[in-house]
Amino acid sequence: MSGSTHVDFEHTGPGLPAGELLRRYWQPVFVSEELPVAHPKPLKILGEELTLYRGEDKVARIIDGRCPHRGLVMSVGKVEGDSIRCRYHGWKIDPTGQCVEQPFEPKSFAAKVRVRSYPVEEYFGLIWAYLGPAPTPPLPRWPSLEQCGYFHVVELRKWNYFHDLENTVDDVHQRWVHAEGIYQDAANAGQIPAATALETEYGLMQYTSFPNGYLRKLALFMPNMLYFTSGAGMLRGFKSFLWNVPVDDVSHKMFFLLVAAHLSPEDGRDVAEGVRSGMRYVASSLPPVEQVIQSVLSGEKRWEDIESRPDLLLIEDGIVLVGQGIIPDRSKNRLGASDAAIILLRKLYTREMSRIEKGEQPTAFPGPDEQLLAQIDEFQAEPV
């Protein structure tokens, strides 16, 4: 399978094969500190409209996006204890999705009314949700990293998640897309790296090897998490976790978690705070990433005219991703040898999605637990 037949990787609503595959794994959905107590938020994930709220007991919860009575969004509701009351006629929904009060009904039928609710956890400053079938798997944990400093980059990206996911294992693009990227030295020396990929128990490993002996490795944990140790610039040595989580079929959120595992906890926290304030400065003083992407795609600016800035990478990737189309037609792709990881990723999705469609059990890929990360790290440290 190299993309010549149409397989629907892109649509992730309930019941669709790619959607069912992604639902079998915990997904980051929100930044913890952006959810105050008793301030519900509308949340869309995998095409589902949901309500995210933090109860007065400080616990984050996810229930259906709409009230079961006449469909008002519950995000404008009022948090009461661990529950939420609809603003329209006062129906109260508890954290399990059970309706527990209908104040204006002469004969309450609340016991018969229930909406969706999903398991929620908080870890590394992120709110995680599990939208899949029971039993809920454990959220992967990294005890040895818990004291480390870390920061996030979270971006809403207005295109389908799957070509962003493909881009994460497409190391060849680094040379052409990222002006300040890690491959420029090799490129300037006229070196052409070779890209290969191997299937692993958790998904795939992408390798890029340079004639000078430098070997870069990226681990993709099925279905949608990339793990690597950053090798460039100020992020060198950070453990990097990247999830592309569909919001709906035409947009997704990129959750990038960078952990300063190579620094002492104190230094790591200082560095992370420095990066966070730098990001706040960028967000308040520079044109939005989306606007710059559009200015190049509309022809108003040349690629060469994009000004250098700390988040340049997001702009460069954005242009080549939106530039393929919001939901690209993969059936016309002409894949080559350097697309090894893309071909393998599509093959893994195709295999798992077809199992789901046939009602078979898909592979239970192990989550990124500490033991697996250590194996990958060790492997990355091998001399080449």
Residues that bind Fe ion (CB under 5 A): 317
Closest separation in Å from C-beta 14 to ligand FES: 22
Closest separation in Å from C-beta 181 to Fe ion: 8
Q: Which residues, numbered 55-84, are part of the site for ligand FES (CB under 6 A)? A: 67, 69-70, 72
- Binder among 11, 41, 78, 89 for ligand FES (CB under 6 A): 89
Closest separation in Å from C-beta 136 to Fe ion: 33
* Residue 153 binds which entry of ligand FES, Fe ion, none, CB below 5-8 Å type-dependent: none
- Binder among 91, 150, 207, 210 for ligand FES (CB under 6 A): 91
* Residue 317 binds which entry of ligand FES, Fe ion, none, CB below 5-8 Å type-dependent: Fe ion
Strand partners, 361: none
**Are 139 and 260 spatial neighbours (Cβ–Cβ below 8 Å)?**
no
Closest separation in Å from C-beta 94 to ligand FES: 14
Q: Which is nearer to ligand FES, 90 or 97 (CB)?
A: 90
CB atoms within 10 A of CB 70: 10
* Residue 88 binds which entry of ligand FES, Fe ion, none, CB below 5-8 Å type-dependent: ligand FES
Question: Can you tell me the distance from the alpha carbon of 230 to that of 216, in angstroms, rounded to the nearest whole number?
Answer: 10
- Binder among 8, 47, 49, 88 for ligand FES (CB under 6 A): 88
Question: Can you tell me the distance from the alpha carbon of 56 to that of 48, in angstroms, rounded to the nearest whole number?
Answer: 25
Measured at CB, which residue is nearest to Fe ion? 317
**Are 241 and 218 spatial neighbours (Cβ–Cβ below 8 Å)?**
no
Tokens linked to 146: 């818990």
Q: Which is nearer to Fe ion, 317 or 339 (CB)?
A: 317
Closest separation in Å from C-beta 201 to Fe ion: 26
* Residue 69 binds which entry of Fe ion, ligand FES, none, CB below 5-8 Å type-dependent: ligand FES
Question: Can you tell me the distance from the alpha carbon of 229 to that of 215, in angstroms, rounded to the nearest whole number?
Answer: 12
The separation between CA 369 and the C-alpha centre of its own chain, rounded to angstroms, equals: 17
Inter-axis angle of helices 312-322 and 161-168, nearest 10: 120
Q: Which is nearer to ligand FES, 61 or 66 (CB)?
A: 66
Closest separation in Å from C-beta 31 to Fe ion: 22
Closest separation in Å from C-beta 3 to ligand FES: 46
Q: Which is nearer to ligand FES, 102 or 167 (CB)?
A: 102
Q: Which is nearer to Fe ion, 126 or 172 (CB)?
A: 172
Closest separation in Å from C-beta 85 to ligand FES: 8
Assess 86 for contact with ligand FES (CB under 6 A): yes
Of the candidates 306, 286, 288, the one whose C-alpha atom is nearest the C-alpha of residue 296 is: 306
Q: Which is nearer to ligand FES, 66 or 253 (CB)?
A: 66
Tokens linked to 321: 């991703």
The DSSP call for residue 69 is T
DSSP 14-39: TTSHHHHHHHTS-EEEEEGGG--BT-
* Residue 249 binds which entry of Fe ion, ligand FES, none, CB below 5-8 Å type-dependent: none
* Residue 158 binds which entry of ligand FES, Fe ion, none, CB below 5-8 Å type-dependent: none
Question: Can you tell me the distance from the alpha carbon of 356 to that of 367, in angstroms, rounded to the nearest whole number?
Answer: 19
**Are 29 and 127 spatial neighbours (Cβ–Cβ below 8 Å)?**
yes
Of the candidates 358, 356, 366, the one whose C-alpha atom is nearest the C-alpha of residue 19 is: 356
Look up tokens 């995680």; give the residue. 128
DSSP 107-155: S--GGG-B--EE-EEEETTEEEE--SSSSPPPPP--GGGTTS-EEEEEE
Assess 114 for contact with ligand FES (CB under 6 A): no
Closest separation in Å from C-beta 39 to ligand FES: 19
Site size toward ligand FES, by CB under 6 A: 9
CB atoms within 10 A of CB 376: 20
Contact residues toward ligand FES (CB under 6 A) are 67, 69-70, 72, 86, 88-91
